[in-house]
């Protein structure tokens, strides 16, 4: 299967949804699915499904449809969910706790191995089976453990304060819940920004324009 | 400016980002901006910017660019952020607390007026200046207050248990953090689902495919 830097982000952003829906189909013991049916679940056109999957080399057979498990496993591989990524969490406030407790990281093949916080009152707290560590232990931890990515569950100013340290420790992949623009400072980082307000504004748009 | 049901969701989903970037430009006292510069900030092509904004009737003048404040205000109006929407929060766990405390609802013109919970240990807690109410008070509250939308910060089974009640109380717009599929049960609802795992999988894709 082809790997390509030229695949558009809008195709890439649909891959997790394919993965999610295919996982649900697999749980329901569905063996195979046509592009038409998959399109209906995904709320896109069948031609879009075929185009999307062709970006990665196909996976379907004319007149047969897609094997659910095969397609799911291929997308899983594309998404790097077999890579055993090791992650740390920065911030043990409500957001950090919610992210750590709400998400099923293991299902995504990700291991959350440590959590750091600079509020002395939160250090030592338990999140799942992790004890919250002090941010002053960050350097020692990162020097003795593999850390593929950091989840930044702190406000913009917090990220501003800690980003140089993380970058110098070699962490260049971020799941960023703050509004701090990391790539404008460090262009060789990979960042996925979560803007919850964008999602809420989309709901407002629907309420404003689509309500009967 | 034209309102249309035929505008694609991918255009609509870019509106909040336009709004966010235009708000930042306005804060920096930028008066006007060309489609080329706006495209660069948005990380799309200039032709995409023009196409997107043409869906809503334009707003630009050939050779002049866009007035930042005018465009921001028009998008704000399109997004319904002037509508004083009244919202309630269902769930006062870590996720509900994080959402309530992390988001600047007032900036989006949304008023979070009450928060409900069925865990007796959490009832009476303070979130911002709201006291967490019991879910048993939901009916009384909704019958005496305007509620435009509910933010569902509870697990899938929790939504399954409460959705009929909310729907019967006339609440048909949901910001849904659970994986429960509301529209498949009630097709006349407007739902914006937040799938944090999709965002994290996108980061994994980047790490797997774009890292040098």
Residue-wise pLDDT for B157-168, tens only, equals 999 999 999 999
pLDDT of residue A54: 84
The chain-wide mean pLDDT, for chain B, equals 91
Which residues in chain A are closer than 8 Å to B149, comparing Cβ atoms? Answer: 203, 207
Task: Measure in Å the smallest separation between the Cα of A155 and chain B Cα atoms.
Answer: 8
Instruction: Return the residue in B17, B203, B207, B209 with the most chain A beta carbons within 10 A, the one to mutate for interface testing.
Output: B203
Q: What are phi and psi of B35, to 5 degrees?
A: -60, -30
Q: Which of A25, A118, A109 is nearest to A65 (CA)?
A: A25
Asked, colleague to colleague, whether A9-78 and A86-198 share their fold, the answer is no
A124: left (phi over 0), alpha (psi -120 to 50) or beta: left
Sequence ranges of the domains in chain B? 9-77, 85-197
pLDDT of residue A60: 66
pLDDT of residue A62: 63
Task: Measure in Å the smallest separation between the Cα of B10 and chain A Cα atoms.
Answer: 9
> Hey, is A142 helix, strand or coil?
helix
Q: How confident is the model at residue B62 (pLDDT cuts 50, 70, 90)?
A: low
Interface of B with A in 116-145 (CB under 8 A): none
Query: Which range (A4-13, B43-52, B81-90, B118-127) has the least confidence?
Result: A4-13
Q: Is the pLDDT score of B1 beyond 80?
A: no
- Note whether B55 contacts A: Cβ–Cβ < 8 A: no
The highest-level CATH class for domain B9-77 is: mainly alpha
Mean pLDDT for back-to-back runs of 10 residues, chain A (212 residues):
65 92 94 91 88 79 82 93 97 93 91 96 94 96 97 94 96 95 94 95 94 64
Q: Is the pLDDT score of B5 beyond 70?
A: no
- Note whether A12 contacts B: Cβ–Cβ < 8 A: yes
Mean pLDDT of B196-201: 95
Q: Which of A206, A179, A205, A196 is nearest to B76 (CA)?
A: A205
E strands, B93-170, where? 110-117, 126-127, 130-134, 149-152
Mean pLDDT of B116-126: 95
Tell me which residue has tokens 């293991």.
Answer: A106
pLDDT digits (tens, 9 = 90+) for B167-176: 999 999 999 9
Q: Which of B159, B189, B195 is nearest to B174 (CA)?
A: B189
Provide the whole-model pTM.
Answer: 0.88
Query: Do the beta carbons of residue B44 and residue B14 sit within 8 Å?
Result: yes
Q: Is the pLDDT score of B2 beyond 50?
A: no
CATH of domain B85-197: 3.40.50.720
Give me the percent of chain B exceeding a pLDDT of 70.
95
pLDDT of residue B61: 67
Q: Which of B157, B95, B175 is nearest to A99 (CA)?
A: B95
* Closest chain B residue to the Cα of A203, Cα to Cα: B192
The highest-level CATH class for domain A86-198 is: alpha beta
Q: Which of B21, B92, B95, B196 is nearest to A151 (CA)?
A: B196
Tokens coding A188 = 């060789």
CATH of A9-78, one of 1.10.10.10, 3.30.230.10, 2.60.40.10, 3.40.50.2020: 1.10.10.10
Mean pLDDT of B53-59: 78
Task: Measure in Å the smallest separation between the Cα of A152 and chain B Cα atoms.
Answer: 12
């Amino acid at each position: 299967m082809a790997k390509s830097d030229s695949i558009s982000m809008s195709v890439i952003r649909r891959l997790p949804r394919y993965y999610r829906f295919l996982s649900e189909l697999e749980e329901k013991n569905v063996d195979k699915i046509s592009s038409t049916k998959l399109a209906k679940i995904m709320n896109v056109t069948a031609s879009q499904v075929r185009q999307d999957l062709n970006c990665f080399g196909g996976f379907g057979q004319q007149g047969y449809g897609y094997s659910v498990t095969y397609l799911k496993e291929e997308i899983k591989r594309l998404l790097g969910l077999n890579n055993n990524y090791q992650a740390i969490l920065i911030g043990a406030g409500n957001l950090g706790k919610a992210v750590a407790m709400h998400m099923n990281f293991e299902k995504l093949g990700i291991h959350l191995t440590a959590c750091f916080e600079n509020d002395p009152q939160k250090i030592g707290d338990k999140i799942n089976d992790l004890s919250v560590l002090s941010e002053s232990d960050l350097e020692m931890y990162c020097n003795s453990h593999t850390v593929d990515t950091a989840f930044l569950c702190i406000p913009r100013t917090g990220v501003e304060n800690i980003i140089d340290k993380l970058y110098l420790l070699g962490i260049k992949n971020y799941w960023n819940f703050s509004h701090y623009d990391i790539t404008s400072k460090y262009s060789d980082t990979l960042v996925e920004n979560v803007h919850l307000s964008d999602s809420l504004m989309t709901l407002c748009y629907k309420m404003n324009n689509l309500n009967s």
